[in-house]
Amino acid sequence: MRIARFTTGDEPRFGVVMGDVDDLGQPDDDTVVVELAGDPLFAGVKPTQTEHRLADVRLLAPVIPRSKVVAIGRNYAAHAAEMGHDLPEEPMMFLKPNTSVIGPGDPIIYPPQTQNLHFEGELAVVISDVARHIAPERATDVIFGYTIANDVTARDLQKKDVQFTRAKGFDSFCPLGPWIETDLDPQDFADGLAVQTYLNGDLKQDGSTKDLIFDIPTLVAHITSVMTLLPGDVILTGTPDGVGPMEVGDEVEIAIARIGSLANRVASRD
Ligand code: MG
């Protein structure tokens, strides 16, 4: 199932996206969203009789993390190399505030404090249950599904501050969407899921989740050995190589095979 959060101009609701979707996750013109009663993370998936054409709704971030976004750095060897880092011996994690989350089509705001704003296309994991001390073999039990994230980063502030709170934590620095794919296990695909980032239509990142240094079960086990994950928390799994700068007016689109694509434009604060 593809679980979306959307609005038709009033309060946000959840829905299931129904219809043909191609291998890149692109829906066709007949795709509809069937409204759900309540938040499926807490109420289960309860379809109502109401449906909308996908083209007639505005998609929102498919989840607002109740507590946190846990992000993993340097989880692709080629990206660690382009940043000048050795390979990590264990997952390197940091937090992004839940207030950094925005949805498909929302503007990424270019802060005045940076001169080097970067995109990072990433596979994102949405957590379904209270999760602590989860063994890798049990990781799928606490995963609701998968979506796409842009781990927007002020690269100059990341270097200047040493730690990442400011560089990764501005409002709008965590686009998520377009929906949560619940019938997918990236571990099932020997070639992984293609992760591609386009800047103004030009391919900039062309990676695959098969190149994750630490796979998703390992990440869930590692994170939950440190902190409890709550339903709706999100894990960003790291970015492939090819990261680069965005300017005001640019459109950045991240496509992940079998999920879909997430597009946002960069805007100035004023
Ligand atoms: Mg990242």
Q: Is the pLDDT of residue 270 over 80?
A: no
CA of 56 to the centre of ligand 1 (A): 32
pLDDT band with cut points at 50, 70 and 90 for residue 174: very high
Strands 260-268 and 251-256 come out as antiparallel
Q: Measured on CA atoms in the order 258, 195, 179, 67, is the torsion positive or negative?
A: positive
What is the average pLDDT score of the chain?
95
177 strand-pairing partners: 148
Q: What is the pLDDT of residues 99-143, one digit of tens each?
A: 999 999 999 999 999 999 999 999 999 999 999 999 999 999 999
The average pLDDT across 21-33 equals 75
CA of 120 to the centre of ligand 1 (A): 6
Q: What is the pLDDT of residues 77-96, one digit of tens each?
A: 999 999 999 999 999 999 99
Q: Is the pLDDT of residue 25 over 70?
A: no
Angstrom distance (rounded) from CA 95 to CA 144: 20
Phi, psi torsion values for 51, nearest 5 degrees = -135, 155
Q: Is the pLDDT of residue 24 over 70?
A: no
- Whether cis (ω within 30° of 0) applies to the bond prior to 178 is yes
Q: What is the pLDDT of residues 65-74, one digit of tens each?
A: 989 999 999 9
CA of 76 to the centre of ligand 1 (A): 10
User: What local confidence, expressed as pLDDT, does residue 22 receive?
Assistant: 67
Phi, psi torsion values for 220, nearest 5 degrees = -60, -45
The average pLDDT across 236-249 equals 98
CA of 27 to the centre of ligand 1 (A): 27
Domains with residue ranges and CATH for the chain: 2-60 (2.30.30), 69-268 (3.90.850.10)
CA of 88 to the centre of ligand 1 (A): 14
CA of 143 to the centre of ligand 1 (A): 20
Q: What is the pLDDT of residues 39-76, one digit of tens each?
A: 999 999 999 999 999 999 999 999 989 899 999 999 99
User: What local confidence, expressed as pLDDT, does residue 29 receive?
Assistant: 78
Q: Is the pLDDT of residue 23 over 80?
A: no
CA of 111 to the centre of ligand 1 (A): 18
pLDDT band with cut points at 50, 70 and 90 for residue 17: very high
